[in-house]
Structure 1
Amino acid sequence: MKQKIYLVALLLLVFSGSGVMAQKTTGGGELKVMTYNVLKGFSGAQSLKDKFVTWISKDVPDIIVYEELSRFNDGMLSDLCKEFGHRYTAFFDTKSGFPVGISSKYPINNIQRIKEDFHHGVMMAKVLDYNIVVLHLSPFSWEKRYDEIGKIVQRLQTLPAGEKTLVMGDFNARSPLDSMVYNANPEVLERAVKAKSKNINNEGKYDYTVIEQMSKAGFIDCLKQLNSAFEYTCPTPLYASASIDGRSRIDYIWASPALKSQLKKCEVSRNWYTDFLSDHYPVLLTLTH
């Protein structure tokens, strides 16, 4: 009788252990992470939320961070994400009208919501052994964005060396690595200067200092690291006025140096769904895990 009890206990231990291993290795040794500015909470339209669920359910990323969750609250984000298998969510109502959020297949721990000195706020959390940072930098001036990203970098530099960190979101800022594309059309720059664009510095040129701070801090621009060609993230065809001249890359996923060997694929997800769900396209990173 005792032998049977021991055998049952051993089998329970083995199967429970295999369940934990299965959770950690979901996706055949890959981890997929996505950032998406969803344009005022999918413009508040249930039809767009339904289309998002239909699309994302085809290949669900492990972790998604969201910007512009307008017209959402904590419960609404949770309910939406459960429809495609994300049991865990974190929501930050930044009181700017543009909340940010995280959803995940795995528990979200150590959640920090930081509003002071940030127009839209910043949320940091831990998923598995990854630090996840979701941000939406100020749209109003490059100087404010420069100040905001400087504070974020300072906070990240307090993390222990070798930490796996992903910084994602709408930076509202252009990268110097894309400058050849932007500078190829001086007429666009001239129009931006006349319109007093928030991406134009005091010298009448595109500002790149916001993004340069991330590079100088040692973070890796995942999309550019894995793609030599210019990949824009907005606008989408949702806007009839969208043109080649107006294309820019302001949505990013940045990885700490500890993740360099795990970077496998990074892409802007363009398809029939994402063409019309938002004015931004989502950026998707695949890591070996």
Structure 2
Amino acid sequence: MKLLQYNILDGCQDAGRFARLSAWISAQTYDIICFNELNGWSDDELQKQAEDWGFSYSWLFQMKKSRYFIGVVSKFPIEVIEQSETGWYHGLLHVRIHGVHLLIAHLSSASAKERQFEAKLIIKRLKKVELANEPLALIGDLNTLSPADNAIYESNQLVRQLVQDEFLNRKFLDNEEINYRPIQILLDAGLIDAAIHRDLPFQSSVPTLINKDKMHAAELRLDYALVNAILNERHPVARIICDEYTDMLSDHYPLECCWQNNYIDGTKDS
């Protein structure tokens, strides 16, 4: 199973950039693509575009409190479990595709303390799925930093860069130290970082060459695929797709996550 997570920057409204993005997606072989920032999109537009890309199914979460819509396209039917705005900076879309629960998130860009609250909401949902003993992945632009990358951030003197800007300070720091609590809460609950546990090197997901967000002031890993123990049995591996083409598609690089597929139509393969 091949999944892609992509924050496409303000709905990718620029015609030239969208043409490049669309051509790139069409050339890929993903089974599922999860999107952040489908700003300005409609259900019909996403479904039509999904079909053009080779996907039969789509779902768009058009939030009322945020213009940063969350969506997903898939080659398999999409079962929508829940879409929620209450307590979320943007929202959370919970779907089940081909036997796997996906929590598609775009966490708060305001502060780590807000993301700590959102992480606790994710844990409550995770416990519901764990009771069902089913595979799950948390996918998205989580807007937060991981303690697994601390050595890299220390060597890059990241705190020195962040502390100089009021907004970056509030987003990532607490008393002039990186606040890793949002990710740590998720890891402590049993989620596993698919980009780390296979001993892959550090890869930043921002900035790109068309960076337009001053909150991407340094090389940061903000996009994640965190899996539960059941999905981890399928040996998931996540990596950032960084090349001369994705340099110019968004202000985030896409995140790929692949795992062995043990289910067909909700039942185990033979």
Query: TM-score normalised to the size of structure 2?
Result: 0.89
Confirm whether residue 247 of structure 1 aligns to residue 212 of structure 2: no
State the partner residue of 1:233. Answer: 205
Q: Letter of the aligned partner of 1:79 in structure 2?
A: K
Confirm whether residue 72 of structure 1 aligns to residue 65 of structure 2: no
SS of residue matched to 2:221? coil
State the partner residue of 2:147. Answer: 176
Residue of structure 1 aligned with 2:54, choices 74, 82, 85: 85
State the partner residue of 2:264. Answer: none
Confirm whether residue 283 of structure 1 aligns to residue 255 of structure 2: yes
* Cα distance, 1:137 vs structure 2: 0.4
CA contact (8 A) 1:120 1:136 kept: yes
State the partner residue of 2:243. Answer: 271
State the partner residue of 2:266. Answer: none
Q: Letter of the aligned partner of 2:58 in structure 1?
A: T
Number of residue equivalences: 256
In structure 1, how many angstroms separate the alpha carbons of the residues matched to 2:101 and 2:236? 18
State the partner residue of 1:3. Answer: none
Residue of structure 1 aligned with 2:30, choices 11, 36, 61: 61
SS of residue matched to 1:267? strand
* 1:166-205 equivalent positions in 2, closer than 5 A: 166-186=137-157, 188-196=158-166, 197=168, 198-205=170-177
* 1:1-289 equivalent positions in 2, closer than 5 A: 31-42=1-12, 44-95=13-64, 96-159=66-129, 160-186=131-157, 188-196=158-166, 197=168, 198-239=170-211, 246-289=218-261
In structure 1, how many angstroms separate the alpha carbons of the residues matched to 2:259 and 2:81? 22
CA contact (8 A) 1:60 1:84 kept: no
Question: What RMSD, in angstroms, separates the aligned Cα atoms of the two structures?
Answer: 1.9
Q: Which has the higher helix share?
A: 1
Gaps of 5+ in 1: 1-30
* Cα distance, 1:271 vs structure 2: 2.2
CA contact (8 A) 1:124 1:131 kept: yes
Q: Letter of the aligned partner of 1:173 in structure 2?
A: T
CA contact (8 A) 2:61 2:93 kept: yes
* Cα distance, 1:240 vs structure 2: 8.6
In structure 2, how many angstroms separate the alpha carbons of the residues matched to 1:245 and 1:52? 24
Query: TM-score normalised to the size of structure 1?
Result: 0.84
In structure 1, how many angstroms separate the alpha carbons of the residues matched to 2:180 and 2:48? 38
* Cα distance, 1:245 vs structure 2: 7.5
CA contact (8 A) 2:211 2:250 kept: no
SS of residue matched to 1:65? strand
* Cα distance, 1:228 vs structure 2: 3.3
Q: Letter of the aligned partner of 1:118 in structure 2?
A: W
Percent sequence identity over aligned pairs: 27
In structure 2, how many angstroms separate the alpha carbons of the residues matched to 1:36 and 1:261? 24
In structure 2, how many angstroms separate the alpha carbons of the residues matched to 1:105 and 1:240? 32
CA contact (8 A) 1:134 1:167 kept: yes
Which segment is superposed worse, 109-118 or 175-184? Answer: 109-118
Change (3 A) 1:184 1:146: same
